Amino acid sequence: MRDRMLDSFEVIVNEHGKTIFNYIFSLVKHKELAEDLHQEVLTSAYLAFHTIKEPAKIKNWLFTIAGNKCRDYWRKENKAKQFWKEEVYSYASIVEAAPLPEEEVLQKYSVEKMEETVMSLPEIYKSAIFLYYFEDLTLNEISNRSNIPISTVKTRMKRGKEHLRPKLQSLA
User: Measured in Å, how far apart are the chain's first and last C-alpha atoms?
Assistant: 67
Domain ranges of the chain: 2-80, 99-171
Residues 109, 87: Cα–Cα separation, whole Å: 25
- At 107-150, the pLDDT tens digits run 766 777 777 888 888 888 888 888 887 788 888 888 898 899 98
Confidence band, pLDDT 50/70/90 cuts, at residue 94? low
Q: How many residues does the chain have?
A: 172
CATH top class, domain 99-171: mainly alpha
- At 158-168, the pLDDT tens digits run 898 888 888 77
Fold for 2-80, please state it. Rna Polymerase Sigma Factor; Chain: A (1.10.1740)
CA distances in angstroms from 169 to 33, 104, 118, 131, listed in the order given: 42, 22, 13, 22
